[in-house]
Amino acid sequence: MKLFKTLIVAAFACSLLAGSALAESCCVKAKVAGKTCEHKCCVAAHKDGKTCEKCQADATCCDKAVAAGKTCEHKCCAAALKDGKACEKCNPEKKDTKKEEKK
């Protein structure tokens, strides 16, 4: 029984980590890590001050700020960035539309 509970807790922790990893775009992930996104499509879009259509189809406030070469000014985003995370409120988990269409 103790092993079962431990496995449940581990699975729950992994799902939380995976959920937060799926939430932000490549550019926001790079910004949180203190880097810039190196995808060719993103670099080309950012040179024009735009968001990448391929990677950021549903651009968030953080994506738009990164594209403009700035840091998002929302209090929730700034606090999350200080913690080395992306704001979960503004960068919600992306839903897999392919799975929903099959149902």
At 100 the three-state DSSP class reads helix
In angstroms, the CA 15 to CA 2 distance is: 20
Residue range 52-68: mean pLDDT, rounded: 89
Residue 80 lies in a domain: yes
Domain presence at residue 101: no
What pLDDT band is residue 12 in, cutting at 50, 70 and 90?
A: low
- Answer yes or no: is 49 within a domain: yes
pTM (2 decimals)? 0.62
Classify residue 103: in a domain, yes or no: no
CA–CA separation, 16 and 49 (whole Å): 33
On whether residue 73 sits in a domain, the answer given is yes
* Domain, as residue range, for 83: 23-89
Q: Is residue 14 part of a domain?
A: no
**Closest residue by Cα to residue 65 from 43, 44, 50:** 50
Q: Would you say 9 and 79 are in contact if contact means Cβ atoms under 8 Å apart?
A: no
Number of domains in the chain: 1
Distances (CA, A) of 73 to 1, 50, 63: 48, 18, 12
Q: Is residue 9 part of a domain?
A: no
